A and B are shown apart, each in its own frame.
Chain A
């Protein structure tokens, strides 16, 4: 059963088309909703929550239309907004408890669950602190805790790593992955960073200016193509060595990409062993010298370009 299914979903704001005939099918698991700022990710989430009416087309969440069963669906969805502004003088545990009650938890249950959720996201010791005194990373965790304290069937997380440093980002992504794996909560994660989506998502829905760029299982999108990264030394006797290697590799049918600044190239092919052999021969033939050579897995950004990457 699809968790989310849309058919020709279109959302128009005046002259601007935020979503254009979007037909997607999101199964259980962790799904990455990727796209640059303004791609339509947040609009898509608002339609899933039933907060907007689509201009045309249909959206179903757990098989129900959010426009018809919105209140019931929202009780089963934990939403973590992108904006990082929360009631400054409210203790974290009170905030999570309050949001939990709003999503249907009985008062007697809500306080205990709020504490449990805050412990889970690593804020157990900080649960009595006012939200205004917390760091950006802690507030992101509080947003995650409030979204899941009511035991939702699905989390909608809008840019949950926004404003986090690399370590905090790793922790947040691990936490989201854990929530899905251990508690079976489906996750739709919005992000403009392909790298983080690639790390934890099972499925991808990629948007660009409101249109669908790609969707499907991550492994299907990336495929099993692999390659190598090659960095050559510049040698005065063989000034054309780099260009010769690139030329020979392309003649062999491999995909080669490189920048202008350094003698570094990325070579992608169907089989990494074959790629490595061809690279080795090309280097020998061109009398080039190797500084570094390493295997490289195909990345999402090789498949499509979103988020300005």
Chain B
């Protein structure tokens, strides 16, 4: 857009024409016009996404804001590091120890749920509390691009938590010679684990952001996330395990549903497991639909709340 400017460009003051004999000059630039190219909407989304990642991880903030991210990081990394350490020291995982790829996700669950409940709400709640939502919408950001930046920030960190330990475990597995055979199979496992992680991360991020959009208090958002996740797990176990309802009610468990979908992505069977998941006997398409439903409901709540949210 070519907007006619009414002002003359601020002239740069040269304080000293020559500070020394070699012609060196000291320029006091001060506030000045910007003549370069602006980064536009893409730059705005990138900047907000990066700032959100810094904010939720407590970077550049006081020590107390770093406590939960550090706890989550330790909880996420510790099992995989121990797994890797055992593999390096012993040269294997112990007598008779076998793991499926999908079981590797167990390394991440505790940390992922902790992140969803205790850290992720910071991404949305803080902006509403500090009136930054209005400030953001006064820039090239729109509601859609604002939410895109927030979702991508939460998803990136969640992926780091879910996929990071799994990747470490895969590397350990490979290191002791129990990993996939050949480069192609290794890459296939890597890609499958990546997308499996993405499915789990998307569902948990969706729940975290939906709960965060309902309140301006982080504590309340954390409680809502815990209720949504553990409420789903408990109710599905009670209905299917105790009350003998159809296994389809296992879809009420967001983690179980997402993991089962990830298992499908990994192309693994749960038939030989001692305690197969509730959804093992449910049709694959129904499980995928259940995962999509969890994601869609979360996204719908966020969109609905932010469509109505007053900017000024």
Q: Across the interface, do B31 and A183 meet the contact criterion of CB distance under 8 Å?
A: yes
A119–B31 Cα distance when bound, in Å, is 9
Residue of A nearest to B45 (CB): A102
Contact of A51 among B7, B40, B132, B137 (CB under 8 A): B137
- Of B57-65, B80-88, B195-203, which binds chain A? B57-65
* 100-144 of chain A: CB within 8 A of chain B: 101-107, 109, 113, 116-117, 119-120
B131 at the interface (CB under 8 A from A): yes
Q: Provide 28 A-B residue pairs closer than 8 Å at the C-beta atoms, listed in order of the A residue.
A: A49-B312, A51-B137, A71-B40, A71-B41, A71-B140, A74-B138, A74-B140, A75-B38, A79-B135, A81-B138, A85-B130, A85-B131, A89-B62, A90-B61, A98-B47, A102-B141, A104-B140, A107-B47, A113-B31, A116-B29, A120-B30, A150-B34, A151-B34, A153-B5, A182-B10, A183-B7, A183-B10, A183-B31
If A104-B38, A109-B36 touch, whether A1 touches B1 (CB-CB below 8 Å) is no
A69–B138 Cα distance when bound, in Å, is 13
Interchain nearest-CB distance for A87 vs B (Å): 5
Residue of A nearest to B39 (CB): A104
A209–B258 Cα distance when bound, in Å, is 54
Residues in A whose Cβ lies below 8 Å from that of B34:
105, 109, 113, 150-151
* 131-178 of chain B: CB within 8 A of chain A: 131-132, 134-142
Q: Across the interface, do B44 and A101 meet the contact criterion of CB distance under 8 Å?
A: yes
* 63-105 of chain A: CB within 8 A of chain B: 64, 69-77, 79, 81, 83, 85-91, 94, 98-99, 101-105
Residues in B whose Cβ lies below 8 Å from that of A98:
47, 51
A208 at the interface (CB under 8 A from B): no
Residues in A whose Cβ lies below 8 Å from that of B138:
49, 51, 74, 77, 79, 81, 156
Contact of A87 among B38, B43, B126 (CB under 8 A): B126
Bits for B71-98, please: 1 = Cβ < 8 Å to A, else 0: 0000000000000000000000000000
Residues in B whose Cβ lies below 8 Å from that of A186:
6
A28 at the interface (CB under 8 A from B): yes
Contact of A104 among B43, B126, B134, B312 (CB under 8 A): B43
Residues in B whose Cβ lies below 8 Å from that of A101:
39, 43-44, 47
Interface of B is mostly: loop
With A49-B137, A183-B10 already in contact, 5 other A-B pairs whose C-beta atoms are closer than 8 Å: A76-B3, A102-B141, A103-B44, A104-B40, A119-B30
Residues in B whose Cβ lies below 8 Å from that of A70:
142
**Total CB contacts across the A-B interface at under 8 A:** 132
B106 at the interface (CB under 8 A from A): no
A103–B126 Cα distance when bound, in Å, is 21
Residue of B nearest to A88 (CB): B130
Q: Across the interface, do A120 and B140 meet the contact criterion of CB distance under 8 Å?
A: no
Residues in A whose Cβ lies below 8 Å from that of B65:
89
A46 at the interface (CB under 8 A from B): yes
B189 at the interface (CB under 8 A from A): no
Residues in B whose Cβ lies below 8 Å from that of A91:
60
Residues in A whose Cβ lies below 8 Å from that of B40:
71, 75, 104
Contact of B130 among A51, A87, A102, A153 (CB under 8 A): A87
A156–B134 Cα distance when bound, in Å, is 13
B308 at the interface (CB under 8 A from A): no
Interchain nearest-CB distance for B189 vs A (Å): 37
A269–B137 Cα distance when bound, in Å, is 49
A77–B233 Cα distance when bound, in Å, is 49
Interchain nearest-CB distance for A279 vs B (Å): 44
If A46-B311, A51-B312, A98-B51 touch, whether A90 touches B5 (CB-CB below 8 Å) is no
Residues in B whose Cβ lies below 8 Å from that of A73:
1
Interchain nearest-CB distance for B201 vs A (Å): 26
If A72-B1, A99-B139 touch, whether A105 touches B39 (CB-CB below 8 Å) is yes
Residues in A whose Cβ lies below 8 Å from that of B139:
74-75, 99, 102-103
Q: Across the interface, do A184 and B6 meet the contact criterion of CB distance under 8 Å?
A: yes
Contact of A86 among B3, B4, B130, B142 (CB under 8 A): B130
A70–B32 Cα distance when bound, in Å, is 25
A81–B311 Cα distance when bound, in Å, is 11
If A71-B140, A81-B131 touch, whether A184 touches B8 (CB-CB below 8 Å) is yes
Interchain nearest-CB distance for B20 vs A (Å): 25
Interchain nearest-CB distance for A252 vs B (Å): 45
Interchain nearest-CB distance for A48 vs B (Å): 10
Q: Across the interface, do B33 and A151 meet the contact criterion of CB distance under 8 Å?
A: yes
A282 at the interface (CB under 8 A from B): no
Residues in A whose Cβ lies below 8 Å from that of B41:
71
A42 at the interface (CB under 8 A from B): yes
Residues in B whose Cβ lies below 8 Å from that of A79:
135, 138
A101–B32 Cα distance when bound, in Å, is 16
If A77-B138, A99-B135, A102-B44 touch, whether A51 touches B311 (CB-CB below 8 Å) is yes
A75–B145 Cα distance when bound, in Å, is 14
B53 at the interface (CB under 8 A from A): no
Q: Which of A62, A75, A85, A184 has the most CB of B within 10 A?
A: A75
